[in-house]
Structure 1
Amino acid sequence: MRKWVLPLLVILSILLPIRVHAQNPLSLSSMVIEIWPEYDKPSVLVIYQMTLSSSTSYPATMSVRIPASAGEPNAVAERQSDGSLYTITYTRQVDGEWATINFTTTISEVQIEYYDQGLSKDGNARHYQYIWSGDYAIAQLTIQVQQPSGATDMRIAPSLGAGVAGTDNLTYFTQDVGAITAGQNIQISIDYQKTTEGLSVDSLPLAPSAPIPQSTATDLNISTWLPWILGILGAGLIIGGIVWYWQTGRQRPAPQTRRSRSKARLNEPVVNSGTDEAEVYCSQCGKRASPGDQFCRSCGTPIRSR
């Protein structure tokens, strides 16, 4: 039985991290794609509001592609329960026309922002082509386009319906696309006329938003440390198993000694099996007296006891 303990510990330590990280392919329960041409820069601000599915295991590693021409993303952040956004670290890998943004999140709601340089201008005419590269399956996709301040003849294909004025006095075109599969591309073509180079933010009576704060250690979920904790426990099991296996292998059971019968007998009490009473004789006539006699039965002389 002892021979199987160490291999079993090794197998458990290997399978434990695999079980922690094993999960179904990531999917999104919902995603809102916001497209804001000429909002606060002469390019197009694209905002992804992504919510991971309820079956997601955390921490979850995500990879989202954006145009390589966009450069570094403006923000990669987690949305806390109070609605505030905290930036998280990421890596960027460029492959042709696309750049993959890789990051790990411990929270279901994630927001990515970038500025797409793909807005073309020809006199007063503006044209922009947006592409969602289909990185994840999405249960509910919503697309929203903001009409730039001062823009006219707004045309969007496919149509997102009639525009609706927002609280900021800008017009928004919104369409619920529904569910899409992973790998399914979505393309939106936007054309409009604009006679000025002014930006939408200049027409808003709002103060600039505060920068997104950095995420702190206290914001991390306990699941962030779970793989490390389980890994340390697994290593401890391996080391403990090796030490136990080595020690038990060096020890040999001592032979049981038989107790000597002679030694046992020395401890046994000696039992007197007979009656060791002294014989008494008459001092006068020499006759033997019976036990308990005080006078000789022959001559009557008193018996002297020893």
Structure 2
Amino acid sequence: MKHRYVFLIVLLALILPATGHTQGRVTAIDALVVDLWPDYDRASVLVLLTGTLSADTKLPATVIFPVPETARLNAVARIDSSDGIMKDDILSGPVPGGFRFTTPDLRFRVEYYLPYAVNNNRRTFNFTWLADWSVNSFQLKVQQPIYASSLATEPAAVNVSKDQDGFTYHAFPVQAVPAGQSFAVDVDYTMTTAQLSAESSAPSGTGIQEPGLPSTSKTGAGINWPIVAVVAGGVIIVIIFVWQLATRRGASNRSVTQDAKAQKQSHAKFCRHCGNPMDKDDKFCRKCGQAMQGE
């Protein structure tokens, strides 16, 4: 019996490191690109955050990502290192001030919609970045809506240029943002019409994958093997427990059957007067004392 418990201990020793590995939190990332697309496909601000973990990060890695309370989450995905496509098969869940996700790839995408204030044709909003982990290379760009007559930022963008996709972008300098330090920008623009940019005939090709929850194109490409190992280990433990329980019951049943058989074989006859079991060599009943006739 002892070797069974030894086996369980060894199995748990193999499973627990995998479980703990998936819970390793990221304390710094290599790069984060923040794209703000106001009035793109909804009457709000689409925030696209594309992150890249350091090359020496142990995967899968867990990230606690900040999200404003007023935001509406749209997508949490990893960017597959084999084909560069976003895949929403990573584990995620809400935590105070944001959410937690675990990714098996170095790159990831987080998307959410941020509301803005409306005053006739004027739109204003604020974006603030604040995380408990540092970013070595932080870059922010604001996409000017197709139907915006003007757009201003505070602080002022260092570069305003029209890209080949037909949009004008207001870009800020790349900088490092330490943990606990915020980066904020106020955006103010005026719309000539309430039409959204995505509804226009503006050419595509922003270089950024279209927003929204992507579909996984490769079967098994996003399997989180440590989680699979934990689940499989749990199943194995349940199977072993059931097997041990069945084995003990079988042994108990066999013991009772053998004892009953031995008892039956030890009694060759019964008292004709009271029915008490008797051994074949008994001349008198041990219970009532009746002599055995014809013996």
TM-score, structure 2 as length reference = 0.65
Measure how far apart 1:70 and its partner are. 2.3
Residue identity in the other structure for 1:203: S
Q: Distance in 2 between matches of 1:138 and 1:39?
A: 27
CA distance in 1, matches of 2:15, 2:87: 31
For residue 183 of structure 1, what is the amino acid of its counterpart? G
Name the structure 1 match of 2:65.
Answer: 64
Q: Percent identity?
A: 28
Q: Which amino acid aligns with 2:71?
A: A
Structure-2 change in CA distance of 1:113 and 1:57 (3 Å): same
Letter in 2 for 1:152: S
Instruction: From the superposition, tell whether residues 161 and 40 of structure 1 become closer, same or farther in structure 2 (CA, over 3 Å).
Output: same
Cα shift at 1:220: 3.0
Q: CA RMSD in A?
A: 3.7
Q: Are 1:125 and 1:194, in contact at CA under 8 Å, matched by a contact in 2?
A: yes
Distance in 1 between the 2:17 and 2:95 partners?
Answer: 29
Equivalent residue number for residue 199 of structure 2: 202
SS state of the match for residue 220, structure 2? helix
Counterparts of 1:207 and 1:165, CA distance in 2 = 13
- Whether contact under 8 Å (1:64, 1:102) holds in the other structure is yes
Please state if 1:125 is matched with 2:125.
no
> 1:196–1:172: structure 2 CA closer, same or farther, 3 Å change rule?
same
Output aligned runs, 1:160-179, within 5 Å.
Answer: 160-179=157-176
Offset, 1:90: 4.7
Q: How far 1:25 moved relative to its partner?
A: 3.9
Instruction: Kindly provide the CA deviation profile for residues 166-210 of structure 1, in whole angstroms up to 9, marking residues without a partner as x.
Output: 122110012233211122211111011223111111223458959
What's 1:190 paired with? Answer: 187
Larger radius of gyration: 1
**Cα distance between partner residues in 2 of 1:213 and 1:84:** 9
Q: Provide the residue aligned with 2:77 in structure 1.
A: 77
SS in 1 for 2:173: strand
Q: How many residue pairs end up in the alignment?
A: 230
Q: Aligned AA for 2:66?
A: R
- The answer on whether the counterparts of 1:87 and 1:215 sit within 8 Å (CA) in structure 2 is no
- 1:14 Cα deviation after fit: 5.1
- Return the offset for 1:214: 3.5
Matches within 5 A, 1:92-171: 92-93=93-94, 95=96, 98=97, 100-117=98-115, 119-171=116-168
The change in CA–CA distance for 1:24 and 1:195 in structure 2 (over 3 A counts) is closer
Task: Indicate yes or no: 2:37 matched with 1:33.
Answer: no
Q: Show structure 1 runs of 5+ residues with no match.
A: 1-5, 240-306
Q: Tell me, yes or no, if the aligned pair for 2:90 and 2:222 is still in contact at 8 Å.
A: no
- State TM-score, norm by structure 1: 0.62
Partner of 1:255: none
Cα distance in 2 for partners of 1:226, 1:54 equals 24
1:50 is paired with a residue of what secondary structure? Answer: strand
Q: Cα distance, 1:216 vs. partner?
A: 5.9
